[in-house]
Structure 1
Amino acid sequence: MVPTTRAEIITIGDEILFGQITDTNTQWIGTQLTDIGIRPVRKTSVGDNRQDILDAFAEASTRVNVIIVTGGLGPTRDDITKHTFCEYFGTELEINQEALALVTEFFAKRGRAMSELNIQQAALPKNCTYIPNLWGTAPGMWFEKDEVIYVSLPGVPYEMKSLMEFEILPRLKARFATQIIQHKSIRTIGIGESFLAEKIAPWEDALPDHIKLAYLPHFGQVRLRLTGTGTDQELLERQLNEQVSQLLPLIEEHVFGYNTDELETVIGTLLINSNATVGTAESCTGGFVANQITSVPGSSAYFEGSVVSYSNSVKMNVLGVSRETLEEFGAVSEQTAREMAEGARRVLNTTFAVSTTGIAGPDGGTAEKPVGTVWIACATPDETYTQLLTLRNNRKINIELTSSYALNLLRKTILKANMALKS
């Protein structure tokens, strides 16, 4: 059995902890490590504080084989990573001539003069292995201590990615005999995480030890991620597929895709294959459903347009919702959602049309229709389907959840229409 190579990713910088920038590096590094069979087991973020960084290094070294560090390699005083590495490894900085030549060339090509701070970019701990950075001025560094590898990389994403891809990953692959780590995801919608877990519990309990399951919920969806570990890629792929085959009969009505499939992409494929078109009529979502649909490249082949009918006058004058409907049932009602969808299909001349109308919040609710009350509808040439949603007291979440459920109603309606054509 090949031992598992474990990694920890440490990001350094107050700007990450203060929320001034989003840490995208960790996600990308984790994916790359997994692809070569190294398992990320923890990520740690620390500020520009010497003792915190030293503690993070020491703690990580007790649990992993590889420590990837990003950030803190700039030329200014707040960039202390190199000095902290020197303290941790009991060494000192010296000008690395290879690094200095590369930094000098970097500035010469751009016709810029070097300052003393730029020269100090070439000052590296004496005991590190220099990793040339062809994409910037901060070199990478490779250290080894007590059978643990420490890699220090710039925090600038494109520099970090280039160093990882061309320098670090090949070295790690050559260094470790790793297991294969493979993921397979099943994308579900319309069923909560706890209900899903209860439904598939017997299947989950029977999973072999080398295959693990994770639940990843997001705005009305739950991604079930199977992670298999082994030494034979073909066998592992077959075993994961077998597990998916056993799972599908239990939850097939809620599955809309696999792996990187997104709901809007799946819908686009269905529409293209059906030679069909779609439009939207949106009130509470303010165009967010249309935004999701048109985020897919090539969506102009099937998306005709949208009517954001926020006011009752637009609902009546553009979509043809009757005044009587609005007066008797209100703007947030099954009847209004139905007439909005049917009006959008007529006005936009599409095969399908989706509508949303509701109370997104944070105010505007009543005892009969509290915040989070939403009706959605999907119209076809022959029938209109409606659905009541009872959501939360959060405007942003309600808009995103409504859009997700509206897209799913569209997906199910297209599938139903296709089934009717085949029968």
Structure 2
Amino acid sequence: MTPSPAPAAAEILCIGTELLLGTITNGNARWLAEQLAGLGIPHLRQQVVGDNRERLIAAVREAAGRCRVLITTGGLGPTPDDLTTEAIAAAFGATLEERPEAWAAIQSRLARAGRPLTPSLRRQALLPPDAQLLPNPTGTAPGMIWTPRPGFTVLTFPGVPSEMRAMWRDTAAPWLRAAGLAEGVFASRMLRFWGLAESELAERVADLLEGGNPTLAPYAGAGEVKLRLTARAATTAAARALLEPLEAEIRSRVGQWCFGADDDSLAAVVLELLRQRDETVAVAESCTGGGIGAALAAVPGASDAFLGGVIAYANAVKQGVLGVSETSLAVHGAVSDPVALAMAEGVLRLTGATWGIAVTGIAGPGGGSAAKPVGLVHIAVAGPDGSRSEAARFSASRGRSWIQTLTTGEALNRLRLRLLAAP
């Protein structure tokens, strides 16, 4: 007789009809997966179930036959569709009882916040009798760590990301470390690329994609391509040591197409390069409507190098504020290299910045023509080594926000490459 396979270490079950409808993005599953990997705990399955008691019971029972730990998010709260705790208990024929310490914590939190205490909130204090309370330091809905039968434990979290993360950090992660579920330690590194298509990047590292440890996985986004490097070893230091030569080899093959790693953004990288040179940047934007400035201002400490900008959407603003000539607009049109150059040079005069970025284009869905279709954008960079502008063409099929996002990234990347090349 063939023995049954050993149960997998962990599964993730996210609960909420809004996830199935696409109303919100399921960021909790991604975050939990990263945390499990960091603890060296493999997980082989993720599932989403709506706010339906019977389907939730079935999903929990099925998971109990496959894994040692089930991690759930969502469905903890005072409203009728918050079914998680009751359904999990029902899956194993358990009753619920009120936990005085949980109810006291709920009352205390509401009192401190000056919020009214309603009867429905009390149901959040109901847990199976033998469940361990998983405290919620930032919200009212506690979770639980419950082993309804030998070899299977459920950890429940609210769907609010900030609450889930605090509960994970304070209670769940220490419990999991002590549970003996780790199969080594995982370390990951995300390399980020701009200006290189996913297919071209895959060709450059094709032989490396076949490795077993570390592994490589490519991802494509809005103009940006990523490579996730993951290694497993006995310790975090050993896992990171496996990643270092692989990262060095990748960077040697792709050169400046790789702009950063992990949480780096193009804006953050550009600002750091400017700081190193004691230089500054200002922006003049038409079709992006302030997107480049917003990307720069989102980086903490941006004021060290980002002076500001002008949103010159109308031609009158291009002329009156940035000094674009009426002749250039009449002869070449607002979407052209001469106008982009004049905008970049104009914002330099206005602000005294070292570098100026300017964009003008057709983001659609209307306004295009055969000569200047939707998705045509002219991007100029002006600086100590001169002013240059070049057109970029983005697909109109992905919509207006897609074109604006790609224009923002492409403009920042062009400045990045100029900074790397400038003496």
Q: Mind listing any 5+ residue stretches in structure 1 that lack a counterpart?
A: none
Which deviates further from its counterpart, 166-175 or 6-15?
Answer: 6-15
Q: Mind listing any 5+ residue stretches in structure 2 that lack a counterpart?
A: 1-5
Query: Structure 1's 99 and 275: CA in aligned 2 closer, same or farther, altered over 3 A?
Result: closer
Aligned to 2:216: 213
Which deviates further from its counterpart, 324-333 or 364-373?
Answer: 324-333
Query: Structure 1's 265 and 363: CA in aligned 2 closer, same or farther, altered over 3 A?
Result: same
Aligned to 1:354: 357
* 1:103-182 equivalences in 2 (<5 Å): 103=106, 116-144=119-147, 145-178=149-182, 179-182=184-187
Aligned to 1:184: 189
TM-score when normalising by structure 1: 0.90
CA distance in 2 between partners of 1:126 and 1:356 (Å): 63
Aligned amino acid, residue 269 of structure 2: V
Query: Structure 1's 136 and 314: CA in aligned 2 closer, same or farther, altered over 3 A?
Result: closer
Q: Report the 3-state secondary structure (helix = DSSP H, G, I; strand = E; otherwise coil) of the residue aligned with 2:207.
A: helix
* 1:17-416 equivalences in 2 (<5 Å): 17-103=20-106, 116-144=119-147, 145-178=149-182, 179-205=184-210, 207=211, 209-393=212-396, 394-416=399-421
CA shift, 1:163, in A, is 2.2
CA shift, 1:361, in A, is 0.4
Q: Report the 3-state secondary structure (helix = DSSP H, G, I; strand = E; otherwise coil) of the residue aligned with 1:388.
A: strand
| 1:242-301 per-position Cα deviation (integer Å, ceiling 9, x unaligned) | 011111121012011112111111111111111111111111111111111111122222
| 1:330-363 per-position Cα deviation (integer Å, ceiling 9, x unaligned) | 2111222222212222222211101101110001
CA shift, 1:148, in A, is 2.5
Q: Report the 3-state secondary structure (helix = DSSP H, G, I; strand = E; otherwise coil) of the residue aligned with 2:232.
A: strand
Aligned amino acid, residue 189 of structure 1: W
% identical equivalent positions: 38
CA distance in 1 between partners of 2:136 and 2:307 (Å): 48
| 1:141-162 per-position Cα deviation (integer Å, ceiling 9, x unaligned) | 2222352221122333343333
Aligned residues: 414
Which deviates further from its counterpart, 401-410 or 127-136?
Answer: 127-136
Are the aligned partners of 1:4 and 1:38 in contact in 2 as well (CA < 8 Å)?
no
CA distance in 2 between partners of 1:266 and 1:392 (Å): 26
CA shift, 1:25, in A, is 3.0
CA shift, 1:107, in A, is 5.8
Are the aligned partners of 2:341 and 2:389 in contact in 1 as well (CA < 8 Å)?
yes
TM-score when normalising by structure 2: 0.90
Aligned amino acid, residue 197 of structure 1: A
CA distance in 2 between partners of 1:95 and 1:347 (Å): 66
Which deviates further from its counterpart, 294-303 or 237-246?
Answer: 294-303
Query: Structure 1's 320 and 56: CA in aligned 2 closer, same or farther, altered over 3 A?
Result: same
Query: Structure 1's 109 and 238: CA in aligned 2 closer, same or farther, altered over 3 A?
Result: closer
CA distance in 2 between partners of 1:158 and 1:307 (Å): 36
Query: Structure 1's 120 and 238: CA in aligned 2 closer, same or farther, altered over 3 A?
Result: closer
Aligned amino acid, residue 363 of structure 1: G
CA distance in 2 between partners of 1:313 and 1:113 (Å): 54
Query: Structure 1's 352 and 136: CA in aligned 2 closer, same or farther, altered over 3 A?
Result: closer
Query: Structure 1's 340 and 151: CA in aligned 2 closer, same or farther, altered over 3 A?
Result: same
Are the aligned partners of 1:5 and 1:38 in contact in 2 as well (CA < 8 Å)?
no
When the two chains are superposed, the root-mean-square deviation of aligned CA atoms in Å is 2.4
CA distance in 2 between partners of 1:235 and 1:4 (Å): 27
CA distance in 1 between partners of 2:114 and 2:330 (Å): 71
CA distance in 1 between partners of 2:230 and 2:19 (Å): 29
